[in-house]
Amino acid sequence: MTLGKVVGTVWATRKDEQLIGMKLQIVQQVDLDLTLKDSFVVAVDSVGAGVGEIVLYATGSSARQTELTRNKPVDAVITAIVDKLDVPGTPALTEAVEA
Amino acid sequence: MTLGKVVGTVWATRKDEQLIGMKLQIVQQVDLDLTLKDSFVVAVDSVGAGVGEIVLYATGSSARQTELTRNKPVDAVITAIVDKLDVPGTPALTEAVEA
Amino acid sequence: MTLGKVVGTVWATRKDEQLIGMKLQIVQQVDLDLTLKDSFVVAVDSVGAGVGEIVLYATGSSARQTELTRNKPVDAVITAIVDKLDVPGTPALTEAVEA
Amino acid sequence: MTLGKVVGTVWATRKDEQLIGMKLQIVQQVDLDLTLKDSFVVAVDSVGAGVGEIVLYATGSSARQTELTRNKPVDAVITAIVDKLDVPGTPALTEAVEA
Amino acid sequence: MTLGKVVGTVWATRKDEQLIGMKLQIVQQVDLDLTLKDSFVVAVDSVGAGVGEIVLYATGSSARQTELTRNKPVDAVITAIVDKLDVPGTPALTEAVEA
């Protein structure tokens, strides 16, 4: 899975009917110190993640293994909201998510 | 999914017969401020997107989960035409698509 | 799909038996103005593309959705020979393939 | 598979229920001389790898082929703990993992 | 498929039981002139490739389409040992593999 931060939402009325009702979140990749990277994806949200939250997302066919996305044309899905990164030897990161 | 802009069309008469009748759009990746990136894909269009429109496309096996592309040798499909990006704290982006 | 140019052929006698009889073409990625990029793949040819031709190829599991490659250990397949790129506003590209 | 080093753990209480009970390890890619690269993934651990260990991980749909991850929304899984790299002509690497 | 050179072997005793008995080769990507690139994968060998040989490998779900790797958590497999690259207009490459 990839670590990212929800930074916004995509609105689209004309879309494949299998996407109707799905929230499409813009998730920007972050580094281990939570700084934003350049790359981002648009992911379906299966866990109710809000803007500003640090999340994990899965890509590829694995993104279709949630109840919400099964057999849908979805290649990225948010699967977890991160509470904490525990990186021994780098205490600054350990509580970074809550900071 | 990936955010992109339709910039053109590919014409090909000699092709796998499973591609016959499919519109092959050139979709260039865009950044959150809609500036064009260098990379692009050729995607099957399942939603009637025209040149100049901002779209979402899915790649990999997920690109075969639309009615049009099921079981076809297609690894990229346009699944939505974007109306609006809502990126809190960055008002300029929010209406960028319509601008 | 990805836009590329066939630049050569790979010869291999010791190979997985499922690859026997398949033509393995070296396809270098090209930009929209058809300049060669650095990256290339070795793709099975399902449409009879010759060296010098501009083609589309599919990758990943989608590369196994042609009659020739189904269930084979093949992750790239040429699916179309490009006649023309139609990129409005950039006339030079429109006939580039034939040039 | 990709060579990496386990550098930490992700804690997440709000997550897809299929991820409950899975250990989510942060695995940073390493070079052949075991220096850390910039990129990292969050991988499910199927072999009991601890922080500091050099591991192999599989990505994509192959990450769902372990008993632990089958049919789960998991796109990266640790499948082996590396004992030794044997790189002829580069003796320094051969015992690097134990060093 | 990707062109690479076998540069070494990974030894791992603690691993997913489905990997038992598989030879794990380190394959470094090469350019068309066979110079080594920075990136490498660890691939299961299905064709008996030795260190120093130029090979093709398949990745992703296609890596599970050999008899050896079917349904296994394997995302890269060597499928051919390259005899010759035939790149018209670049004679130096044509016999490079044997050189």
**What pLDDT, in 10s, does the model give residues C55-99?**
999 999 999 999 999 999 999 999 999 999 999 877 555 555 654
Please say if the pLDDT value at position D68 is more than 90.
Answer: yes
B91 SS3 class: helix
The secondary structure of residue E61, as a DSSP letter, is G
Kindly determine whether residue E10 and residue D86, on different chains, have CB atoms separated by under 8 Å.
Answer: yes
| Extents of the domains making up chain A | 2-94
Count of CB contacts below 8 A, C vs E? 99
Q: What is the pLDDT of residue A93?
A: 57
Kindly determine whether residue B40 and residue C32, on different chains, have CB atoms separated by under 8 Å.
Answer: yes
Q: Measuring CA to CA, which residue among B51, B26, B31 is closest to residue B41?
A: B26
Which of D15, D18, D78 is best to mutate for the A interface (most A CBs within 10 A)?
D15
Q: Which chains touch D (3 or more CB pairs under 8 A)?
A: A, E
Tell me the pLDDT of chain B averaged across its residues.
92
Per-residue confidence band for A99, with pLDDT thresholds at 50, 70 and 90: very low
The stretch B3-15 carries a mean pLDDT of 97
Question: Phi and psi at residue E12, in whole multiples of 5°?
Answer: -150, 120
Please say if the pLDDT value at position D92 is more than 70.
Answer: no
The stretch B9-37 carries a mean pLDDT of 96
Per-residue confidence band for D94, with pLDDT thresholds at 50, 70 and 90: low
Q: What is the pLDDT of residue A88?
A: 87
Per-residue confidence band for E89, with pLDDT thresholds at 50, 70 and 90: confident
The stretch C24-41 carries a mean pLDDT of 96
If you search the block for the tokens 């006339």, which residue do you land on?
A: C91
Sort out which chain E residues have CB atoms less than 8 A from D63's CB and list them: 73, 75
Q: Which chains touch E (3 or more CB pairs under 8 A)?
A: C, D
Q: What is the pLDDT of residue C20?
A: 96
Per-residue confidence band for D93, with pLDDT thresholds at 50, 70 and 90: low
* Rounded distance between C-alpha atoms, residue A39 and residue B52, angstroms: 22
The stretch B33-57 carries a mean pLDDT of 96
Question: Phi and psi at residue B8, in whole multiples of 5°?
Answer: 175, -170
Contact at 8 Å (CB) between B27 and B76?
yes
The stretch E28-56 carries a mean pLDDT of 96
Kindly determine whether residue B63 and residue C66, on different chains, have CB atoms separated by under 8 Å.
Answer: no
Kindly determine whether residue A16 and residue B79, on different chains, have CB atoms separated by under 8 Å.
Answer: yes
Q: What is the pLDDT of residue D99?
A: 45
Q: What percent of chain B has pLDDT over 90?
A: 87
Nearest-neighbour CA in chain B from A88: distance (Å): 33
pLDDT digits (tens, 9 = 90+) for B54-71: 999 999 999 999 999 999
The strand pairing partners of D40, in sequence order, are: D28
CATH of D2-94, one of 3.30.365.10, 3.10.20.600, 3.30.450.40, 2.40.50.220: 2.40.50.220
Select from A8, A13, A71 the Cβ nearest to the Cβ of B88: A8
pLDDT digits (tens, 9 = 90+) for C35-44: 999 999 999 9
Please say if the pLDDT value at position E98 is more than 60.
Answer: no
* Rounded distance between C-alpha atoms, residue C41 and residue D67, angstroms: 33
Q: What is the pLDDT of residue E99?
A: 45
Kindly determine whether residue D43 and residue A1, on different chains, have CB atoms separated by under 8 Å.
Answer: yes
Q: What is the pLDDT of residue B99?
A: 45
The stretch B23-30 carries a mean pLDDT of 98
**Helices and strands (DSSP H and E) totals, chain C:** 1, 7
Kindly determine whether residue E14 and residue D48, on different chains, have CB atoms separated by under 8 Å.
Answer: yes
CA distances from D19 to A47, D38, D44, D74, E71 (A): 12, 26, 9, 8, 21
Per-residue confidence band for E32, with pLDDT thresholds at 50, 70 and 90: very high
The stretch E69-91 carries a mean pLDDT of 92
Which of C29, C38, C62, C87 is best to mutate for the B interface (most B CBs within 10 A)?
C62
Task: Spell out a b/e string for D5-31, using b for 16 or more CB atoms within 10 Å of the CB, else e.
Answer: bbbbbbebeebbebbeebebbbbbbbe
Please say if the pLDDT value at position A91 is more than 80.
Answer: no
Kindly determine whether residue B87 and residue A15, on different chains, have CB atoms separated by under 8 Å.
Answer: no
Hey, how many other C-beta atoms are within 10 angstroms of the C-beta on D85?
24
Nearest-neighbour CA in chain D from E89: distance (Å): 34
Which of D1, D38, D86, D93 is best to mutate for the E interface (most E CBs within 10 A)?
D1
Q: Nearest residue of C to residue E59 by CA position?
A: C75
What are B59's two structure tokens? 């790649």
Select from D47, D48, D85 the Cβ nearest to the Cβ of E10: D85
* Rounded distance between C-alpha atoms, residue B74 and residue C63, angstroms: 8
Q: What is the pLDDT of residue B57?
A: 98
Q: Nearest residue of A to residue B63 by CA position?
A: A73
Q: What is the pLDDT of residue B81?
A: 97
Question: Phi and psi at residue C57, in whole multiples of 5°?
Answer: -130, 150
Nearest-neighbour CA in chain C from E99: distance (Å): 15
Q: What is the pLDDT of residue C6?
A: 98
Q: What is the pLDDT of residue B88?
A: 87
Kindly determine whether residue D56 and residue E15, on different chains, have CB atoms separated by under 8 Å.
Answer: yes
Per-residue confidence band for E68, with pLDDT thresholds at 50, 70 and 90: very high
pLDDT digits (tens, 9 = 90+) for A33-85: 999 999 999 999 999 999 999 999 999 999 999 999 999 999 999 999 999 99
Please say if the pLDDT value at position E93 is more than 80.
Answer: no
Please say if the pLDDT value at position D91 is more than 80.
Answer: no
Q: Which chains touch C (3 or more CB pairs under 8 A)?
A: B, E
Kindly determine whether residue B12 and residue C63, on different chains, have CB atoms separated by under 8 Å.
Answer: no
The stretch B68-91 carries a mean pLDDT of 92
Nearest-neighbour CA in chain B from C1: distance (Å): 5
Please say if the pLDDT value at position D85 is more than 80.
Answer: yes
Question: Model ipTM?
Answer: 0.92
Answer whether 0.90 is exceeded by the pTM: yes
Kindly determine whether residue A66 and residue D18, on different chains, have CB atoms separated by under 8 Å.
Answer: yes
Q: What percent of chain C has pLDDT over 70?
A: 91
